[in-house]
Structures are given as structure tokens and as C-alpha cells.
Structure 1
Amino acid sequence: MAVPKKRTSMSKKRIRKNLWKKKGYLAAVKAFSLAKSLCAGNSKGFFVRQINK
């Protein structure tokens, strides 16, 4: 028979939520930094094709 589990404390829930948010924030910062370096032309990670008209 199924037994209900114990309730997770608010502090533990808050810690997990903040870790989840931090992971997204760090990904956003990394993407923004990469975009800035691409716009400035300082990127060494990969090549961007320049279109000449």
C-alpha cells in the first residue's frame, strides 16, 4: 500500500529552487558574453562567415 512521504522543508525547497535559477542565470551570462565577443570580433571559439555585399 502507498504511504505518503514526509513533507520537504521550506528551506530545502528554497535552496533547490535557487540552484535551479542560478543555473539558468549562468547560462544567460555565458550566452550574452559570447554574443558580445562575436559582435566585437574577438571570438576565438568558432568562425563566423562574413557576408560581403
Structure 2
Amino acid sequence: MLDNLKKLILFMKKRLDGKDKRNIAILIFIALLTNILIVHQFTRLIKPQSHCI
């Protein structure tokens, strides 16, 4: 999963070359969102009995 994330970020960086700052903000937002999702998956693996979001 982390390898896929790295590939996605590299792909986005290539697409961002010569683009405006707004796209960089979108990239950062996507990276933060995926990090939150990864952390959420890890916490679910650690504590499977809890149903908290």
C-alpha cells in the first residue's frame, strides 16, 4: 500500500511540473487524506473490537 502511495506521489509530482500552486495544495491534501486513512486502518488492526471512527 505504501509503495502505491509513493508511486501516486511521484506521478502527481511529474504532473505538477510547470503547474500552478493550487495543484500542489491539492497534492498535499490528498497525501494527508491517504495518511489519515492508513493510520485509521492500522488502528483498526490493533483494536478490532472497537467500532470508533
Q: TM-score range by the shorter chain?
A: 0.5 to 0.7
Q: Which has the higher helix share?
A: 2
Question: 2:30 corresponds to which residue?
Answer: 20
Listed as ranges, the gaps of 5+ residues in structure 2 are 1-17
- TM-score, scaled to structure 2: 0.53
- TM-score, scaled to structure 1: 0.53
**Using the alignment, how far apart are the partners of 1:31 and 1:12 within structure 2?**
29
Listed as ranges, the gaps of 5+ residues in structure 1 are 1-6, 46-53
Deviating above 4 A after TM superposition, structure 1's stretches of 4 or more consecutive aligned residues are none
**Using the alignment, how far apart are the partners of 1:44 and 1:36 within structure 2?**
9
2:40 alignment partner, one of 25, 30, 36 = 30
Q: Which has the higher contact order (CA 8 A, sep 6+)?
A: 2
Aligned positions, number: 34
Structure showing greater radius of gyration is 1
Let me know the Cα RMSD of the aligned residues.
Answer: 1.8
**Using the alignment, how far apart are the partners of 2:50 and 2:38 within structure 1?**
19
